[in-house]
Amino acid sequence: MALNNTYDARLQQETAVGAGVQLLLLALLGSAIGMGPAGWLTGLVFAFATWAVLSRALHRSRLSSFGPANRVTLGRATLVGGVTALVADSFESAPPVTPLVALTAVALLLDGVDGKVARRTGTSTALGARFDMEVDAFLILVLSVYVATQQGPWVLLIGAMRYAFVAAARVAPWLNAPLPPSFARKTVAALQGICLLLAGAQLLPHPVNLAIVALSLGSLVWSFGRDVLWLWLRRESRTAAEGAVAAGAVGEPLLRELELAAR
């Protein structure tokens, strides 16, 4: 028990350091661009929420070490917190685009680094994968809010789609089934941040930015649609196979073969 308490204390120290770095970044942004109350408040809420949620998740996971990969993800979360504060501040005044683009670019460049670090150090965990995914999803949501102020509310569909999928899975549990690995899915996911960053930087003409964001949304709809269809067909196959087993038409071995084929 004492050893577990020691591990838990170390993990809490890691999250506390992350919150401290987040506050330091907010202070630097505030002094550099004169960030207003909305930016400060949003940044502080993000820092506290990240610390609270991550601390609870670490306590429940019973990890013995925070791990180098999670430190990379925590660094990315800190950058996302800065982006969030700048986007919130943009509703009060027009902050310099450069720091927002710079923080976003670094966060996107580091995407995937944590996964590589986890594999090379043998520290891959379910918590680390979930942490990485949530940071990615929230960054896309924040960027879609920012770009929506330039291109229109429809851009919010990009950031909201993943959360809508999670909400739908609570009503339709078959959406929670594991998906097979897909290079196309990973490519589309990476494309979202790049497209929103390009549009948000406002370096290109408005029609070009509009086309870029539309391409981003279209590819995302295709990716989610393909996955939902796969999950639905797998559900239908599973339901049909279970019905056949119940009726005595096939045995359990054949059911397992059908499940493997569906994967």
Residue range 130-145, pLDDT digits in tens = 889 999 999 999 999 9
Q: Are residues 143 and 86 in the same domain?
A: yes
Amino acid at 67: G
Q: Are residues 53 and 91 in the same domain?
A: yes
Q: Are residues 98 and 138 in the same domain?
A: yes
Q: Are residues 166 and 59 in the same domain?
A: no
Q: What residue ranges of the chain have pLDDT lower than 70?
A: 1-8, 64, 95, 237-263
So what's the pLDDT on residue 156?
Answer: 97
CA dist 134 → 149, 201, 207 (Å) = 23, 24, 31
CA 253 from centre of chain: 38
Pick from 116, 133, 151: which residue ends a domain? Answer: 151
Structure tokens at 196: 């929103």
So what's the pLDDT on residue 26?
Answer: 93
Pick from 99, 134, 151: which residue ends a domain? Answer: 151
Pick from 94, 119, 151: which residue ends a domain? Answer: 151
pLDDT in tens, 149-206: 999 999 999 999 999 999 999 999 999 998 898 999 989 999 999 999 999 998 899 9
Q: Mutual orientation of helices 206-247 and 252-262 as an angle, nearest 10°?
A: 170
Q: Are residues 8 and 109 in the same domain?
A: yes
Q: Are residues 118 and 160 in the same domain?
A: no
DSSP string, 155-176: GHHHHHHHHHHHHHHHHSGGGG
Based on the structure, what is the number of domains in the chain? 2
Q: Are residues 21 and 95 in the same domain?
A: yes
Range of the domain at 84: 1-151
Give the predicted TM-score (pTM) of the model. Answer: 0.86
- Determine the Cα–Cα distance for residues 134 and 163; give it in Å rounded to an integer: 10
Separate counts of helices (H) and strands (E) for the chain: 10, 0
Q: Are residues 68 and 1 in the same domain?
A: yes
With beta carbons less than 8 A apart as the criterion, state whether 156 and 211 touch: no
With beta carbons less than 8 A apart as the criterion, state whether 81 and 50 touch: yes
So what's the pLDDT on residue 124?
Answer: 81
Residue 159, number of CB atoms within 10 A of its CB: 23
Q: What is the overall mean pLDDT for the chain?
A: 85
Structure tokens at 157: 């569909």
Q: Are residues 249 and 177 in the same domain?
A: yes
CA 70 from centre of chain: 14
With beta carbons less than 8 A apart as the criterion, state whether 132 and 114 touch: yes
Q: Are residues 65 and 166 in the same domain?
A: no
Amino acid at 223: S
